[in-house]
A and B are shown apart, each in its own frame.
Chain A
Amino acid sequence: MAGQTCAAIQIRGLSFSYSDGNQALRDIDLCIAAGEKVALVGPNGAGKSTLLLHLNGILTGQQGQVMVGDVVVSAPHLRLVRAVVGIVFQNPDDQLFSPTVFDDVAYGPIYMGLSEGEIRQRVARALGQVGMESYAPRTSHHLSLGEKKRISIATVLAMDPRVLALDEPSSGLDPRARRTLIHLLQQLGQTMLVSTHDMMLVAELCSRMVVLDQGRIVADGATRDLLANDELLRAHGLEAPPALGR
């Protein structure tokens, strides 16, 4: 039933080339149902980040269509789409640009035109979800990478998105910060598309896995099944995480 399985995100025939001619995405078809947590894996240069940028219209494919819910991601609807899809970028420094953590998390709600009371409420809730309530008055400049990553997630959560797209959320984190992050993502109820190299995170968090290589989807199925397929993984520059047996 295409309707149900594509309720959150529907991508049809998406192709995209950069202006220097590099064809980054070729004929992508992808359906994500509400509440699904999907991993997007593949070697460097496969097009994972590029695909994420199409979800909220930062990039637009030359061919094909992206739909979020029942809204087409195209020029007149971008402001609306961005209220529904939140992207957490790989480098938190790109997203944290305000003097205080509060200001950064409040950006989205302020832009949306919410009242001051609502803004404060959302900021408190978002910081609470990532476990960083006390950080509100601090400057993000001096925080550790793990702390910054969680705050950048909060900046997106404050907008109450239905879909979360995360680009390499666990890269560069020490084991404790990583554990905290995985726990946090497991708690969140949003539909998720997580682009990552971290196969253990994939195994723990995502029930479904999509493999991207050279701009094409080469595999799409249950995580457990695909992770057991050593040949497939090796062919696309991936490795299964060491201890899978439970």
Chain B
Amino acid sequence: MDARVKLLLALALVLCISLMPVAAWPVYILLLALILSAAILSELRMRPLLRRSMVALPFALAALPLLLTVPGQTAVALRLGPLHLAVTVPGVERFASIVVRSWLSVQVAILLTATTQLPDLLVAMGQLHMPRLLVAILSLMWRYLAVLVDEAIRMMRARDARSASWSGRGGGTLAWRASVTGSMAGSLFLRGLERSERIHNAMLSRGYDGSIRGIAVPPLDWRSRLLVLLGLIVVLALLLFGYWVA
């Protein structure tokens, strides 16, 4: 499947999930089934997918107060000392809906990136009118990401290797540790800068003049367009169903 199709459908799906009303449980389950079957069809392994999808969950703490603040029928009443806290049913619904929808959205994103190579994704974004300068910068960033991440990891290892203490105390002050990290960051950036100058020279030696050219990609064929259309119809149908159910 063309990367552009995947990108468009993924975005449509995420938008759909975001527009879903609260407590549209049957549709949430439908969406989950849809996402997971797409994952199976793409021959992805479930466990890493589900493990990665848990990444966003700690943010749910931000929505925790909703349990208490949304007005409605009380589900559970808690008493913490002088505090009377009432967990309301609409609060639980709202909170649970947010968590579930967030979880579904993350899975869509994982599905997209697991089935699409970044270079293809960048080309897709370029075709969808993302500025060429940005695409060029992202390509270069991608190329050097592993290199610089490696450098950062090696720096941290070297620092750990010199982080010793005889008695279990030590460690310096927090401010000192922070400024050491700052020095490490500064070194990393400075070396990155100088490396970019060397890369620039290499590019110049191969005829680079600042203009950004790429290999032309053919426009979407009618099958892909049909696929996008069908996908959008399905997404719309899910959305309407969601509103009918809620």
| Residues of A near any B CB (own CB < 8 A) | 53, 56, 58, 79-84, 86-87, 89, 91, 93-99, 103, 107-108, 110-113, 141, 155-156, 159
Contact = CB atoms under 8 A, between A and B. Distances in A.
B154 A91 contact: yes
B183 interface: yes
A56 B161 contact: yes
19 contacts: A53-B157, A79-B165, A80-B164, A80-B165, A81-B164, A87-B161, A91-B154, A93-B191, A94-B155, A94-B157, A95-B155, A97-B184, A98-B183, A108-B164, A110-B176, A112-B165, A113-B169, A113-B171, A159-B164
B163 A79 contact: yes
Contacts of A79: 163-165, 168, 170
Nearest to B162: A108
A89 B166 contact: no
A228 to B, nearest CB: 35
Contacts of B187: 93, 96-97, 141
A21 to B, nearest CB: 14
A155 B164 CA distance: 13
Given A79-B165, A111-B164, 15 more contacts: A80-B164, A80-B165, A80-B168, A82-B162, A87-B158, A91-B154, A94-B151, A97-B184, A103-B183, A108-B162, A111-B162, A111-B165, A111-B170, A111-B171, A159-B164
Nearest to A96: B187
B172 A58 contact: no
B160 interface: yes
Contacts of B165: 79-80, 83, 111-113
Contacts, number: 87
Contacts of A97: 155, 159, 180, 183-184, 187
A203 B196 CA distance: 40
Contact of A83 (B157, B160, B164, B184): B164
Nearest to B167: A113
A51 to B, nearest CB: 14
Chain B at the A interface: SS class: helix
Interface in B110-166: 151, 154-155, 157-166
B183 A111 contact: no
A107 B183 CA distance: 12
Contact of B172 (A53, A81, A83, A110): A110
B190 A82 contact: no
Nearest to B181: A97
Given A93-B191, A94-B154, A113-B172, A82 B183 contact: no
Contacts of A94: 151, 154-155, 157-158
Given A91-B154, A155-B162, A112 B180 contact: no
A111 B172 contact: yes
A96 to B, nearest CB: 8
A144 to B, nearest CB: 15
B162 A107 contact: yes
Contacts of B154: 89, 91, 94
A107 B180 contact: yes
A163 to B, nearest CB: 12
A153 to B, nearest CB: 12
A111 B190 contact: no
B183 A113 contact: no
A141 B155 CA distance: 15
A86 B164 CA distance: 10
A89 B155 CA distance: 10
A82 B160 contact: yes
Contacts of B190: 141
A81 B223 CA distance: 63
B157 A58 contact: yes
A156 B157 CA distance: 13
A58 B155 CA distance: 12
Contacts of B167: 113
